Amino acid sequence: MPDAETPTPTALITGASRGLGAAIARELAPTHHLLLGARTAEALSGIAAELPGNTPWPVQLTDYEALARACAPIERLDVLVHNAGVADLGTIAESSVQQWRNTLEANIIAVSELTRLLLPALRAAGGHVVLINSGAGLRVNPGWGVYAASKFALRAFGDALRLEEPELRVTSIHPGRTDTDMQRDIVAGEGREYRPGEFLTASTVARTVRTAIETPRDAHPTEIVLRPIARDTE
């Protein structure tokens, strides 16, 4: 908890409207002032009401003019959690140029541009960049090529940023399958029954974000990998 003398640190979380991003917002709310990202103010109304006193930050991350406008007022940023992402699965044979473009745009190009715009604010705070990656950023399964390519790129981005900005900390978190809307869509696409107990909980992944940012400053948590332990497959 911040003491009375230390100003409350600020954290920007993209994709905070639901799923992992909302869980990360709930986890950080007791200790941080939050900028809550999602595409629209409407999408953010639930989490903003749940976590009053924080700031909704609605912006389409792939609209780079809007993104620059939204970033302009941010002068100091302690934590930037890149959580927003899309998963559009299918084999290479079934893939389309549009699918590649949409996936790479959301999962890596927008991440890079948002980071670039916020570098002065992050440098001012000696900030921490957290990249919500995936098991698919470490290994590829059939049908996951497009998504995995975007997450491998995200890992390379994090590795480069860590070397280029030594005053910042950059952590890639690689969760396995996690119980969210995205996972429900993936399981529906696989034609399987959805059993939440097979997956990580979003709150566990969120706790790991806190662990990363609270790691004492003599250490740089570079990569954290989480895999689910099946709890309840009934």
What residues act catalytically?
Answer: 147
User: Edge-to-edge strand order for the sheet containing 223-226?
Assistant: 55-58, 33-38, 10-13, 79-82, 128-132, 169-175, 223-226
- Listed in sequence order, the residues at least 6 apart from 162 whose beta carbon sits closer than 8 Å to its beta carbon are 168, 169, 170, 220, 222
Report whether 11 contacts 34 (CB < 8 A). Answer: yes
- Which CB, 15 or 221, lies closer to ligand NAP? 15
Q: Give the SS3 label for residue 223.
A: strand
- Which CB, 122 or 130, lies closer to ligand NAP? 130
Measured from the CB of residue 27, what is the shortest distance to ligand NAP in angstroms?
A: 13
- Which CB, 68 or 182, lies closer to ligand NAP? 182
- Listed in sequence order, the residues at least 6 apart from 97 whose beta carbon sits closer than 8 Å to its beta carbon are none
132: left (phi over 0), alpha (psi -120 to 50) or beta: beta
Q: What are phi and psi of 116, to 5 degrees?
A: -60, -45
Report whether 75 contacts 123 (CB < 8 A). Answer: no
Measured from the CB of residue 205, what is the shortest distance to ligand NAP in angstroms?
A: 8
Distance in angstroms (rounded) separating the CA atoms of residues 5 and 194: 48
Measured from the CB of residue 218, what is the shortest distance to ligand NAP in angstroms?
A: 29
- Which CB, 24 or 168, lies closer to ligand NAP? 24
- Which CB, 62 or 204, lies closer to ligand NAP? 62
Measured from the CB of residue 44, what is the shortest distance to ligand NAP in angstroms?
A: 8
Site for ligand NAP, rule CB under 6 A: 14-15, 17-21, 38-40, 43, 60-62, 83-87, 106, 132, 134, 175, 177-178, 180-183
Residue 155 gets which letter from DSSP?
H
Measured from the CB of residue 11, what is the shortest distance to ligand NAP in angstroms?
A: 15
